[in-house]
Amino acid sequence: MSTSTFTDEPFVIAGTTYRSRLLVGSGKYKDLNETREASLASGAQIVTVAIRRVNIGQDPNAPSLLDVLPPSEFTLLPNSAGCYNAADAVYTLQLGREILGGHKLCKLEVLGDEKTLFPNMPLWSKTVSTSWFIAATTRFKRACWKTSVAPPSCRWHP
C-alpha cells in the first residue's frame, strides 16, 4: 500500500510544474503593493487577474499589476470576471492573452445572476467548447481544465 499523498505528485498545468496548488486573486486589495505582499505571503505562484478591472497594460499611463507581479515571478491567469455572455467572456480572454503576449492559460467566468454572481452554467458549458486552452472555475469553486481534446483525467466534476 502506498503512503503517498496528492501533494507528493507534481502540480503541472500546460507543461509548467508548480510548487503550490493555491491560486489567488489580485483583486480586493487597497493597492498594488498590498497585492504583491499578499501574493508572496500566500506562496501561490498563480494569480488570477480580472481583465475588466485590473490594469495589466491596457492603460499605459496607469500603474500596472505587471509592475508588482511580473510574469517572470508569477503565472498570471487572466479571467473574464464581470462577463454575462459568452461573446464578452471570450473577447475579454482574448484581450488578456494578447496583452500577455499570447499567454496560453485563462480563467473563464460567465455570470448568470447580478445579485449572487452565480455562474450561468448552460452558457459556460457552451463557451468552453472553444479550441484554445481554458482553465475554468466558477464562484462555487468547481473546477475543470479543458482543452479542445481533453485527456480522460480532465472532466467536469459537479
The residue type of 92 is: T
Integer CA distances (angstroms), 132 to 39, 76, 77, 109, in order: 27, 17, 14, 15
Distance, in Å, from the CA atom of 8 to the CA atom of 144, rounded to the nearest integer, reads: 21
DSSP reduced 3-state for 114 = coil
Query: How would you classify residue 115: left for phi > 0, otherwise alpha for psi between -120 and 50, otherwise beta?
Result: alpha
- Set of cell numbers at residue 54: 485590473
Residue recorded with cell 480532465: 154
Among all residues, which ones are annotated catalytic?
107
